[in-house]
Structure 1
Amino acid sequence: MRIEIYARQGCHYALADFFCFHKINYLLGSSFRRVEVSASLREGSVLLVRGPSGSGKSTLLRVLSRLQELVDGQVFFRGVNMFSFTPQVWRSKVHYVPQKPAVFPGTVHDNLLRPYSLRINRSKEFNLETIQRALDKLMLDFNIMEQNAGTLSGGEAARIALLRSIILSPNILLLDEPTAALDEKAKQAVLGLLTDWLEQKPDRGIILVSHTDESTTFPSANVLEIGR
């Protein structure tokens, strides 16, 4: 799982034609300070994004998911510019899971099923056996499916939000501190599930913001430093 980072050279499509962002500029907070970053990602790889608090790591994920404006630069998936896709199609390929994910009214089952009401996802299968296996890996009992989602703990909500994205089988996961609310056992369970998810299909990748060192889990991952 090797990642090529081209902070100066930009995107080298012959080497990395999976996911790439080149000299993208975005505004950070009310200060309107510009941040410029470049990186390129191979299939089956993980990119760890690090930097001080307030450096723009979370904002980068929002820009890559088209939830925040890109001021300048280019983002490509398989050599196709991000803006050649509709936002809905782009977000079906590139899933963003924030540090504090949204929990919708209803049960956990309702929350997992909700994205399938969107036209872009209607052809996808909602497979309870797949969900049960993933819940087992995440150290969650299958009975949680009937629990009111509003009663979930922070750690449970984080794992359910991750599961909600994984079962839709995107190409890229943009994860903002996915293990921040977890104890060590639950953290290792999440990282194990992500490793399994990467290995199931070749056309997948992860961009992960974390304050902790995940390099032992993803030893071939490279690191993009922001704001240093």
Structure 2
Amino acid sequence: MFPIRDHNPSRRPAYVTYGIMALNIAVFLAMLPAYSNDATLYDIYANWALVPARVSSGDGAYTFFSSIFMHAGFMHLAGNMLFLWIFGDNLEDELGHGKFLGFYLFCGAIAGLAQFLADPSARVPMVGASGAIAGVMGAYLLLYPKAKIDILLILIIFFKIFPVPAWVMLGLWALMQIVGGVSATSGSGGVAYLAHLGGFIAGIVVIYPKWMALGGRQYWNRTFGHPPHPEAQYQFVKSSVPIVKRRK
């Protein structure tokens, strides 16, 4: 089960969101030859990924930012870019291009800091934009808790798309990070659950003054938790394949 789109159209082009996506894809393509060469990939990670033990030694503070533009594989990249495409344009629309870029980088750095503080001696490299994107998701949850999110549910051969409120989808995602963070062994690699949670909480905290300026709960009362503009309506095009009735 994963989101494929929201019903919250942005009112102006999300140049920064698209630029971030393009930069992430460009970095992945530049690193692509290294994925088949362990020594080269190790050198890239050693220089640009976030390695807590290296930061603890007083080196590599810049990797809190460089690491959020790197990914460990195609599916890692594709999943993150999907979430950024769904949620990023609306937050950029609300904050403006410059403030959104600062917000994104800040949440990414806080996400890395959360993972770093969990085990400053860890030598496992951390890469990925998911911490920064988690911040975007946290802000989206506070601003538009009832915006419709289309979910694709796949059960073996059963495919179904249905809309759910943002708070359901993002709430379940946050719960999964908490459960994963509790069960994960510190420094064992895999998913950086604490980075996700750190970014998510940072996004909520940073956007909170904006939410209050809009009216806080009164803003929710005015919009009923939905975007303050008409939601997008999607209709599925009927298949052109003719239906052949079964003969009796």
TM-score (norm. length: structure 1): 0.25
Is the helix fraction higher in 1 or 2?
2
Of structures 1 and 2, the one with the larger relative CO (CA 8 A, separation 6+) is 1
Q: Which has the larger radius of gyration?
A: 2
Is the strand fraction higher in 1 or 2?
1
TM-score (norm. length: structure 2): 0.23
